[in-house]
Structure 1
Amino acid sequence: MALTGVRVLDLSRLLPGAYCTQLLEAQGAAVTKVESPGGDPIRMLPAGETYFDALHRGQPLLTLDLRTADGRASLRGRVADADVLVEGFRPGVMERMELGYGSLSAINPALIYCAITGYGSSGPLARRAGHDLNYLARSGALSLMPHAAGGPAIPGLQVADLAGGLQAAFLIAAALADRGRTGRGARVEVSMTEVMRSWTLLPRAARRAGIAGLPLTGQVPCYHVYRVADGYLTVAALEADFWAAFCQLVDRADLVSRQYDPSAVGEVQRVLEPASRAEWAGRFAGRDVCVEPVLELDESS
């Protein structure tokens, strides 16, 4: 595998860094999870041990108190033969313990050091506390969510955390590739707010052009979640030919010209509601219509 032999020290906490190192591990890297004596804060959440195990199952665990000289000395010893270190402390914390990139790269010049932050390591928000929902809010991404009960709906997944972990893994892989050419390590940094801001590229482009953004939050019949007899069905027939095929298969050819007409949502709902997910799956089998059932977690495993 591409990262076989790469040794990773994961000093991060909660989800972003853990997801990053899971991705590296899936490509062959050997990950050691480093915790403080109090444990990763994810353990303290309701059912936290379940989440910790899901993120770190099978990884060697190392407890170090970095507030002590012995703990810091032990980490420096580990860094000497590590390839990657991932941390998610607020900016300045590692430096105050003399464990920042400058100090650790003096021990191991080939080290790839990845800092995952909420708001970056500089600027007025750099040291501000935050979590996934805050980063979505500051980036503008939360404002794009459908509104429920008078405000933007909170996504059911920690999007900024996962996006930050994915970006971190990408930057680490790129730095490892560059190290293969130069022999030198590097410091890479992720701001989860900036990652989410970059994910708003298309809505921002629409805003600058003075046009409405893509109607992808349930406003139009060709991109909607519909209630059916035993659950829900997703229709994502954005291309005209997919939508036309869908309309033909539900015996509503008259709706072909109303692909982006919000008033047609109710009509499609009335067509789909009486039958079950399985019945519609049979109807659409083998046809390109971009229709799939909404599965519960135990159905999709």
Structure 2
Amino acid sequence: MTATPPLSGLKVVELHAIGPVPFAGQLLRSLGADVLRVSPPSDPGLGIGVKPEYDLLNQGKRALSVDLKQPDGLAALRRELANADVLLEGFRPGVLERLGLAPAALLDAHPRLVVGRLSGWGRDGELSQRAGHDINYLALSGVLNAIGAPEAPVPPLNLVADFGGGAMHLLVGVLAKLVQRSITQRGGVAETSILAGTVGLTPMVYGLMAGGLWNLERANNLLDGALPFYRVYRCADGRFVAAGALEPKFYAQLLAVTGLEAEIDPRDQYRPATWPATIERFAARFATRSRDEWAQASAAHDACLSPVLDFTEAARHPHNLANGLYRGEPFAQPAEVIRFDRDLGAA
């Protein structure tokens, strides 16, 4: 990052929440913003049981402990908002209004303020006031049904709906309003939901469905494990490799790495009738070596074959370390993953 981070001088007030809102605030902080986290005195950790030193979604943030249901707590928050650029909140629809913090009133008092609002289900509809978590939003968006083996969907951690859907779309909205404010000198509201953000990740799938190229049954599609060259295989040591050789030139390399050129005709790559037998051949071949042996065998080939690492292994992998993706102090954790430098493009 440059000596002066791109969001240096930006003041963000983040109202207490778990998951996507703290993640959004943390990303803004990593870009240079001054983030103040406002939490209730009774439960500053919001019941998630993580010690402060391990709470990476809130590292580097300033903290203010106030009860927003009390007049003095609201007064303290209003004092902070007087100099704030952004307010982030993740309450159910209507909670901010009931606290006396309706965005319209906030913007009357602070015309340059950008209010970023993230609910679970959205402000309208029968579920707007219902509780929910990542897996619930995935379920209603259609995404959960598409992930996993035919027997049952598989929850993909909370990285898709909470962080990929909700937090990222919230950030896009907030940053867009900040850019607009630089022109108009007026703030405004950027509002989305975790459900909406998850749906927002799916346009490619809907296009494929409309074109007759997507099957609603799991493990029957291009990117869901149905293809022999885009799936995970178990190795001799019980660990796994991931094959992603979609293009014919990479598929040819995969056949070379596995030594299956004589058994598998590359011209049949996209013939579904051949896939079950091809999967069996690949599975049998990958079962003859360990994961790391396959990684070594493919090192000199563009075969789109990768070892499936756990989090600890990922933090130690030489390539990841060469790119500065992790730092080791005080313990292994992701580093800042966006680089800013005027000369990067010339490298």
Q: TM-score, normalised by structure 1?
A: 0.93
Mapping for residues 113-128 of structure 1, pairs under 5 Å? 113-128=115-130
Letter in structure 1 aligned against 2:158: L
Letter in structure 1 aligned against 2:298: F
In the alignment, does 2:43 pair up with 1:39?
yes
- Per-residue deviation at 1:52? 6.5
- Per-residue deviation at 1:222? 0.5
- Per-residue deviation at 1:115? 0.6
Letter in structure 1 aligned against 2:230: Y
- Name the count of aligned residue pairs: 298
- Does the C-alpha gap of structure 1 residues 31 and 19 become closer, same or farther in structure 2, counting only changes over 3 Å? same
CA deviations on 1:215-247 (whole Å, 9 max, x unpaired) are 322222100111112311010001111001110
Q: Helix, strand or coil: the match of 2:200?
A: helix
In the alignment, does 2:253 pair up with 1:245?
yes
Q: Helix, strand or coil: the match of 1:156?
A: coil
Mapping for residues 1-301 of structure 1, pairs under 5 Å? 1-40=5-44, 43-45=46-48, 47-49=49-51, 53-147=55-149, 150-163=151-164, 164-213=166-215, 214-230=221-237, 231-253=239-261, 254-255=263-264, 256-260=266-270, 261-301=275-315
Q: Kindly indicate whether the alpha-carbon contact (under 8 Å) linking 1:88 and 1:115 is maintained by their aligned counterparts in 2.
A: yes
Tell me, in whole angstroms, the C-alpha distance in 2 between the residues paired with 1:130 and 1:281. 40
Tell me, in whole angstroms, the C-alpha distance in 1 between the residues paired with 2:212 and 2:227. 20
Q: Helix, strand or coil: the match of 1:54?
A: coil
Letter in structure 1 aligned against 2:47: M
Tell me, in whole angstroms, the C-alpha distance in 1 between the residues paired with 2:293 and 2:209. 41
Q: Helix, strand or coil: the match of 1:55?
A: coil
Percent identity of equivalent pairs: 35
Q: Kindly indicate whether the alpha-carbon contact (under 8 Å) linking 2:134 and 2:158 is maintained by their aligned counterparts in 1.
A: no
Tell me, in whole angstroms, the C-alpha distance in 1 between the residues paired with 2:293 and 2:17. 45
Q: Helix, strand or coil: the match of 1:56?
A: coil
Letter in structure 2 aligned against 1:2: P
Letter in structure 2 aligned against 1:142: L
Letter in structure 2 aligned against 1:23: L
Structure 2's unaligned 5+ residue stretches are 216-220, 316-347
Letter in structure 2 aligned against 1:224: R
C-alpha RMSD of matched pairs (Å): 1.8
Q: Kindly indicate whether the alpha-carbon contact (under 8 Å) linking 1:11 and 1:86 is maintained by their aligned counterparts in 2.
A: yes
Select the structure with the greater relative contact order (CA < 8 A; seq sep ≥ 6): 1
Tell me, in whole angstroms, the C-alpha distance in 2 between the residues paired with 1:6 and 1:132. 29
- Per-residue deviation at 1:206? 2.7
Q: Kindly indicate whether the alpha-carbon contact (under 8 Å) linking 2:208 and 2:214 is maintained by their aligned counterparts in 1.
A: yes
Q: TM-score, normalised by structure 2?
A: 0.81
Letter in structure 2 aligned against 1:135: Y
Tell me, in whole angstroms, the C-alpha distance in 2 between the residues paired with 1:147 and 1:235. 17
Which stretch has the larger CA shift, 275-284 or 73-82? 275-284
Q: Helix, strand or coil: the match of 2:198?
A: helix
Which stretch has the larger CA shift, 215-224 or 84-93? 215-224
Structure 1's unaligned 5+ residue stretches are none
CA deviations on 1:54-95 (whole Å, 9 max, x unpaired) are 211221111110101111111111100000000001111111
Q: Kindly indicate whether the alpha-carbon contact (under 8 Å) linking 1:140 and 1:200 is maintained by their aligned counterparts in 2.
A: no
